[in-house]
Amino acid sequence: MPESNPGGDNSRGVLFGGVFSRGGVDAGDAAWLRAMLDAEAALARAVERAGLAPEGAGAAVTAAAVPENFDLAELGELSALTGNPVPALSRALSALVPRALAGAVHQGATSQDIVDTAAMLLARRALDVIGADLDIAADAAARLAAGHRSTIMIGRTLLQQAVPVTFGLVAAGWLNGLDEARGALARAGAERLAVQYGGAAGTLAALGDRGPRVLALLAEELDLPAPPLPWHTIRLRVLDLAAALAGVDSVLSKIARDVTLLAQTEVAEVREGPGGASGGGPGSPARGGSSAMPNKQNPVAAIAILGCAKQVPGLLATLAAAGEQEHQRAAGAWHAEWQPLADLLTLTGSAASWAADLLGGLIVDPARMGANLRAAGGLPLAERVTSLLAGTLGRAAAHDLVAEAGARAASAGLPLRDVLLGRRQSAGQLEAAGITPEQIDAALDPANYLGAAADFTDAALAAHAACEGT
């Protein structure tokens, strides 16, 4: 799997491309050009099929509509004259086609038709790549969940130790999030992408009564759905796509944040596997190093995911703000969508690629998890002990007894058991309540207080298997 798209054409640049343009999503200038040319070529074929262009016009335009025939820099300069690159592109394309056939170029279309349709093509190609990386990440999470179904660790809430959980349950949570995000993204790709073709003001008046026919043929040529009517200033398709991408980034960000916290030196319950520019092969640089501290092994994949995901809310907000578009063609709001959408596709693709690498190579340390749990001195089981005592002492009295014992255990650095059984007052209360040391030991055994962790893990794995079977 490629770690970046270093060919110089990505929307995040070359210098930072290894972090923010990792993987196979291409939403840079050349990709936009290719998608716009695909739209123009498909339109030429459609108008020929509708009888509005001479025979052979579609093939001639398609043959000319290859990126190598166009100068990106020149198109960019000329776009300043018209506010978008399509007028210059269509003129250049027409010049490459025999004069008798050139009328098929851009027939009936407005610039937004080409850019919006290109955006849908760009998105479809990106979603295929993102989906493939998410599949890899989800399968890796499933293996972690199944392999660590019974690996006990401390659960943490509000960044503090809570009751025991299993790492299998943690990974199952990651898996379920990934599966839900994959489903939402797949639905967006299947239901929200559509061709755009409405002409100057959404009526296709230039085509007379053949407009709907050309629209249907264009959709067929591009294998994109034909919408009921042009969506020039109703931008829910773009926003729904963006929301699905942001959902993916949200899930990946949660996983990455968990890994950075669990990989802290003082916790050290997981760590990233070795990697490098060439996948960690012989002679490749080690991944995770520091320019100042040679001892460091930083969780680079998780950090990169977070770096990608932190940029997403602003992009989503921009696209949401751009959804208000006036009359039949927006003045500025439509233009504001292009770069944020490209960035969103690129960053989500990068995060998904990093996540496939992260989860596929994650190293879990059950011994360290056990050691951290034991070092807590039984305090994570305080809830379980309270429940044991509540039946005889009453919940309030049981809570106060365990809370006082827990505070003494924490301040003295002693196990909760020693305080409960070693202090005369608490030991007397336990004896009077008929609670034996063996019962306290059983209550302080993490394996006896995992609730439905295994069931929930199995349910996530079953749901994942069902997803894979559809």
Q: What is the DSSP string of 2-20?
A: -S---SS-STT-STTHHHH
Q: Which two tokens stand for residue 111?
A: 């610039």
The label of the residue with tokens 């579609």 reads 58
Q: Which two tokens stand for residue 109?
A: 């279309």
Cα separation, 302 vs 256, in Å, equals: 4
Helix axes 338-361, 312-321, angle to 10 degrees: 150
Cα separation, 230 vs 227, in Å, equals: 7
Q: How many CA atoms lie within 13 A of 76 on its CB side?
A: 7
- Please check whether residue 275 is in contact with residue 361, taking contact to mean a CB–CB distance below 8 angstroms: yes
Say which amino acid occupies 66.
Answer: V
Nearest to 94 by CA among 74, 122, 114, 64: 64
- Please check whether residue 463 is in contact with residue 179, taking contact to mean a CB–CB distance below 8 angstroms: yes
Q: Which of 91, 187, 278, 290 is catalytic?
A: 290
Contacts of 94 (CB under 8 A, 6+ apart): 102, 105, 106
Cα separation, 203 vs 113, in Å, equals: 12
Q: Which of 329, 368, 408, 423 is catalytic?
A: 329
Listed in sequence order, the DSSP H helices in 227-267 are 236-262
**426 is an active site residue:** no
Partner residues linked to 161 by β-bridges:
156
DSSP structure class, residue 106: T
**329 is an active site residue:** yes
Classify the C-alpha dihedral 161-165-168-172 as positive or negative.
Answer: negative
Cα separation, 224 vs 218, in Å, equals: 8
> If you count DSSP H runs as helices and E runs as strands, how many of each does the chain have, helices first?
19, 4
Q: How far out from the chain centre does Cα 335 lie?
A: 25
Cα separation, 81 vs 174, in Å, equals: 49
User: Is 439 exposed, middle or buried (CB count within 10 Å of its CB: 0-12, 13-18, 19+)?
Assistant: middle
Question: What phi-psi label fits residue 122: left (phi over 0), alpha (psi between -120 and 50 degrees) or beta?
Answer: alpha
Which positions are catalytic?
A: 290, 329
